């Protein structure tokens, strides 16, 4: 072998078996210059390296020491050049790029992440990967694989860390997590769940594949895996240290669903971790996930135990949906959304020695432990609502309160398919029956109270006096006004239930009132307007105001009747009739704002007809 030196290159004359020789020039300058076709430059250089390597292998022990020394020097310089170019490829255009969907990585309103949300991960092109592989093969054959691995690990580690830092995760230890306010910690858990999916499914997976493409089959077995670990280990350690800190937080009911999110995310990622990080996978599977499962069971147990001892306020005066009902149903619906995860974690049925829960509900063998726990929670809620209703002084309001709240529970069950499938039909039937019982009790009690004075019993005799009828009507007016004043403040949030109650009450009140007045119309005579404060239309409109809750500002919505005009009998019947129609029209068009203002004396005097009514004909 004859070596010649020229500026920026080394030429090695390789002699073939026939005695002929050819000169192989190994350029020392950067081969992948923008002015030279990359493929052509790489190919020439790699062919030259291959020729020198073959010569060195074929002449091992036979070549002259000078020739061998020159060849070794040439190969060393070639390896240095390959190392340099290897690093150039790895560090070329490595600034982190994020796709147009990457804003979801920091948007706390949604933390469901898919691969397409992080599409522009920085991987070399297929041509560059081919060059990296070719260089790694030559450096391995030249005994320089470790040099190649160091360059690769350093470059990719820096890139992985830049991407990881771009996810915005803070370094948090157990102490930090324990001291942090839940609202802030909740936001950080959401960020972590997004980040762990990005890291495992995209960053780490792509890095692992790249290592396989470049180093698979080179050096000792597992070289590619070791190279990947060196590049990703720091980021992975920081990533999963957060999970280690989270498992030590204090269990509390409001944290259940976020803990379940972590559990579900890690469980879904276990198959990926088996390939990427076997050691971390073992830690996650044997330490983190079991501890999260334990925390979930502790939280659910604390929630069930705390439900009986909760100290929420007593029901308000409107008998509407209690905050406890809304809170518990939100929680139960949330639990049903995690049915698949919780069914694996909750494997023990509720204790059967609790006196409130009917034994037949616990003994339903076809129900899973999770389903029985949900039924248990709902039964405890019903029990607590029953206790709260008994603290109300008004029995009608107590029934009204139970009707509203149990109806809300039934509605939530029926409108949530997952929850509906988890609740036993027998238990749901019991809840519906409880709504019907409360509604019937309230409805009957209200009607009995209002209509008792319109009963015909005791009046079906000839010669009943006007005074007796007037007392009956006056009593009815007083009772109805009191019921209206009270129940107009009550609330039925459910539209259909509210309309059904109004319609039923209206029909029965109007029917009884109309029957009473028509049967005794001969007694009232032409002065019935002076006895009958309300027309059936007035009562109907008043009943339609029931259950709307308090009206902000001023008095509650009053019955729109011309009460003051009845106190002044020095007016014509026509004025009363016109004023009544005017008030009723105003009321129907804007029932919440109608406060009838009677005519002033001057207005009345100008409206009176020329013929004054005979004062003696007006009944007293």
What 588-594 contacts at long range (C-beta under 8 Å, 24+ apart), as own/partner pairs, is 588/541, 591/541, 591/544, 591/545, 591/557, 591/560, 592/548, 592/551, 592/557, 594/557, 594/560
What Å distances lie between residue 533 and 111, 469, 518, 572, CA to CA?
Answer: 63, 13, 15, 16
What is the pLDDT, as a whole number, of residue 399?
94
Does 418 have pLDDT greater than 90?
A: yes
Q: Which of 88-97, 229-238, 435-444 has the lowest mean pLDDT?
A: 88-97
Which has more pLDDT, 550 or 534? 534
Annotate 456-468 with b (16+ C-beta within 10 A) or e (fewer). eeeeeeeeeeeee
- For the chain, give every domain's residue range: 2-91, 102-129+142-305, 322-331+344-446, 455-617
Does 578 have pLDDT greater than 50?
A: no
What is the pLDDT, as a whole number, of residue 535?
86
Q: Which of 33-42, 153-162, 272-281, 573-582 has the lowest mean pLDDT?
A: 573-582
Does 594 have pLDDT greater than 90?
A: no
The per-residue pLDDT for range 481-492, each reduced to its tens digit, is 999 999 899 999
Helix (H, G, I), strand (E, B) or coil at 466: helix
What is the pLDDT, as a whole number, of residue 192?
94
Does 104 have pLDDT greater than 80?
A: no
Which has more pLDDT, 122 or 116? 122
- Per the CB < 8 A criterion, the answer to whether 149 and 157 are in contact is no
The per-residue pLDDT for range 121-150, each reduced to its tens digit, is 777 888 888 889 988 888 888 888 999 999
What is the pLDDT, as a whole number, of residue 256?
93
The pLDDT-based confidence of 314 (bands split at 50, 70, 90) is: confident
The pLDDT-based confidence of 592 (bands split at 50, 70, 90) is: very low
What Å distances lie between residue 373 and 296, 313, 370, 377, 402, CA to CA?
Answer: 13, 25, 5, 6, 22
Average pLDDT, the chain: 75
Within 10 angstroms of residue 170's Cβ, the number of other Cβ atoms is: 10
Q: What average pLDDT does the segment 246-262 reach?
A: 90
What is the pLDDT, as a whole number, of residue 456?
64
- Which strands make up the sheet holding 2-6, listed edge to edge? 2-6, 9-15, 21-27
Enter the tokens of residue 378: 């709902």
- The string of DSSP codes covering 186-216 is HHHHHHHHHHHHHIIIIIIHHHHHHHHHHHT
Which has more pLDDT, 493 or 104? 493
- CA nearest 435: which of 460, 456, 414? 414
The pLDDT-based confidence of 289 (bands split at 50, 70, 90) is: very high
Q: Which of 56-65, 186-195, 304-313 is predicted most confidently?
A: 186-195
What is the pLDDT, as a whole number, of residue 93?
56
What is this structure's pTM? 0.73
Does 95 have pLDDT greater than 70?
A: no
The per-residue pLDDT for range 438-485, each reduced to its tens digit, is 999 999 998 888 888 887 665 555 556 777 778 888 888 899 999 999
Does 178 have pLDDT greater than 90?
A: no
Question: Distance (Å, rounded) from C-alpha 103 to C-alpha 101?
Answer: 5
- The string of DSSP codes covering 145-202 is HHHHHHHHHHHHHHHHHHHHHHTT-----HHHHHHS-HHHHHHHHHHHHHHHHHIIII
What is the share, in percent, of the chain residues with pLDDT greater than 90? 33
Distance spanning both ends of the chain, measured CA to CA: 142
Q: What average pLDDT does the segment 1-27 reach?
A: 46
What is the share, in percent, of the chain residues with pLDDT greater than 70? 68
Does 219 have pLDDT greater than 70?
A: yes
- Per the CB < 8 A criterion, the answer to whether 352 and 362 are in contact is yes
- CA nearest 160: which of 234, 239, 85? 234
Q: What average pLDDT does the segment 387-407 reach?
A: 92
Question: Distance (Å, rounded) from C-alpha 146 to C-alpha 151?
Answer: 9
- The string of DSSP codes covering 225-289 is HHHHHHHHHHHHHHHHHHHHHHTTSPP-GGGHHHHHHHHHHHHHHHHHHHHH-HHHHHHIIIIIH
Q: Return the H-helix or E-strand segment holding 3.
A: strand 2-6
């Amino acid at each position: 072998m004859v070596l010649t030196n020229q500026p920026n290159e080394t030429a090695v004359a390789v002699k073939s078996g026939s005695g002929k020789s050819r000169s192989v020039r190994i350029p020392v300058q950067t081969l992948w210059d923008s002015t030279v076709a990359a493929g052509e430059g790489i190919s020439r250089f790699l062919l030259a390296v291959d020729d020198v390597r073959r010569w060195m292998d074929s002449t091992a022990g036979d070549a002259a020491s000078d020739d061998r020394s020159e060849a070794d020097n040439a190969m060393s310089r070639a390896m240095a050049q390959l190392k340099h170019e290897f690093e150039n490829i790895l560090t070329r255009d490595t600034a982190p790029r994020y796709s147009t969907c990457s804003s979801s990585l920091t948007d706390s309103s949604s933390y469901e992440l898919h691969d397409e949300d992080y599409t522009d991960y920085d991987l070399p092109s297929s041509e560059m990967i081919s060059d990296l592989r070719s260089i790694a093969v030559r450096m391995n054959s030249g005994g320089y694989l470790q040099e190649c691995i160091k360059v690769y690990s350093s470059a990719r580690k820096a890139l992985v860390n830049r991407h990881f830092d771009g996810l915005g995760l803070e370094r948090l230890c157990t102490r930090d997590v324990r001291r942090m306010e839940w609202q802030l910690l909740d936001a950080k858990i959401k960020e972590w769940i997004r980040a762990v999916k990005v890291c495992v499914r995209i960053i780490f997976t792509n890095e692992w594949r790249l290592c396989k493409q470049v180093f698979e089959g080179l050096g000792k077995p597992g070289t590619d895996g070791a190279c990947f670990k060196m590049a990703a280990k720091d980021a992975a350690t920081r990533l999963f240290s957060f999970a280690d800190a989270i498992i030590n937080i204090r269990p509390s009911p409001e944290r259940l669903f976020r803990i379940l999110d972590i559990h579900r995310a890690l469980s879904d990622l276990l198959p990926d971790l088996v390939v990427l990080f076997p050691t971390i996978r073992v830690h996650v599977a044997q330490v983190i996930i079991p501890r999260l499962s334990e925390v979930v069971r502790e939280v659910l147990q604390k929630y069930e135990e705390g439900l009986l001892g909760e100290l929420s306020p007593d029901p308000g005066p409107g008998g509407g949906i209690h905050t406890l009902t809304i809170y518990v149903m939100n929680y139960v619906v949330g639990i049903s959304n995690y049915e698949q995860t919780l069914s694996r974690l909750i494997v023990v049925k509720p204790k059967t020695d609790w006196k409130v829960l009917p034994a037949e509900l616990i003994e339903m063998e076809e129900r899973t432990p999770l389903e029985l726990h949900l039924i248990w929670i709902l039964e405890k809620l019903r029990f607590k609502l029953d206790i709260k209703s008994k603290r109300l002084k008004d029995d009608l309001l107590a029934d009204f309160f139970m009707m509203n709240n149990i109806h809300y529970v039934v509605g939530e069950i029926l409108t949530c398919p997952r929850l509906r499938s988890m609740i036993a039909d027998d238990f749901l039937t019991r809840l519906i029956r409880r709504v019907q019982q409360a509604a019937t009790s309230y409805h009957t009690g209200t009607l009995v109270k209002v209509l008792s004075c319109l009963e015909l019993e005791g009046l079906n005799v000839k010669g009943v006096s006007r005074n007796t009828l007037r007392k009956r009507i006056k009593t009815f007016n007083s009772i109805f006004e009191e019921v209206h004043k009270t129940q107009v403040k009550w609330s039925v949030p459910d539209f259909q239930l509210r309309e059904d109650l109004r319609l039923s009450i209206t029909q029965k009140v109007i029917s009884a009132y109309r029957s009473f007045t028509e049967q005794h119309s001969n007694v009232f005579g032409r002065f019935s307007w002076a006895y009958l404060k309300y027309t059936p239309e007035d009562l109907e409109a008043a009943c339609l105001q029931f259950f709307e809750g308090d009206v902000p500002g001023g008095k509650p919505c009053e019955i729109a009747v011309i009460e003051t005009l009845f106190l002044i009998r020095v007016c014509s019947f026509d004025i009363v009739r016109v004023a009544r129609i005017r008030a009723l029209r105003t009321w129907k068009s804007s029932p919440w704002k109608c406060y009838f203002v009677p005519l002033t004396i001057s207005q009345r005097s100008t409206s009176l007809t020329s013929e004054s009514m005979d004062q003696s004909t007006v009944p007293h």
